[in-house]
Amino acid sequence: MKKFFALLLVLCMIFALAACGGKNAVGTWQGKVNLAEVAGAELGELKDYMKDANVDFILELKSDNTFTLQMDGTALMPILKDAFRAYLDDMLSSMGMTAADYEAAAGQSVDALIDSALAEMNTDDLNKSISGTYTDNGGKLVLTPNDGSAPVNGSWEKDALTLHDDDIGDIAFTRK
């Protein structure tokens, strides 16, 4: 009878390990994307001034096969403001002007011009949370957002996870 219970215990452990085998991706993953690299041509010459414009991502993969992806671009606004300022300073300089010359001619400060340009930007997409479900098939992930947007494919191995987004490209994550 002891052998039966020992065998039963071993079988239970094997089934438990097999059931958890696909859950290695479970946990918190951290990644970032540089806005200048992603937006590139859309930013034109401004991209050259945005070297540190990163959007941070936190991906939480839960054991119930749900996920939450949090994008945090709050640190971008000061970087964007500095990039606009450097871009305008260079543009004015190429015309033989300074910011003070512009301000005297336009009747408004360069900072006011930058602030109004930034106010027109829709930054909602830089700070949002997406949730949904995921499937993990031997290191291949498919994230399906609840909002009806297209699924995102990815893969993971050990402490490296890569998601591929058609708009952004590959986003590399590390386990947090």
- Pick from 125, 108, 104: which is nearest to 116 by CA? 108
| pLDDT for 115 beyond 90 | no
pLDDT at 155: 93
pTM above 0.75, yes or no: no
Closest C-alpha to 142, from 152, 132, 131, 156:
152
Asked whether residue 5 carries a pLDDT value surpassing 80, the answer given is: no
What number of residues does the chain have? 176
Confidence at 4, pLDDT banded by 50, 70, 90 = very low
Q: What is the pLDDT of residues 136-158, one digit of tens each?
A: 998 899 999 999 999 999 998 88
pLDDT for residue 64 is more than 90:
yes
Class of the domain covering 25-73+126-176: mainly beta
Amino acid present at 135: T
* Residue type for position 9: L
Sequence ranges of the domains in the chain? 25-73+126-176, 75-122
Q: What is the DSSP letter of 139?
A: T
- Determine whether 7 is exposed, middle or buried from the number of CB atoms within 10 Å of its CB (0-12, 13-18, 19+): exposed
Q: Render pLDDT for 83-113 as a digit per residue (tens, 0 to 9).
A: 888 988 999 999 999 999 989 998 999 889 8
Expressed in angstroms, the distance from the first to the final Cα of the chain is 46
Residues 6+ apart with CB under 8 A from 27: 60, 61, 175, 176
User: Locate tokens 């050990």: which residue?
Assistant: 158
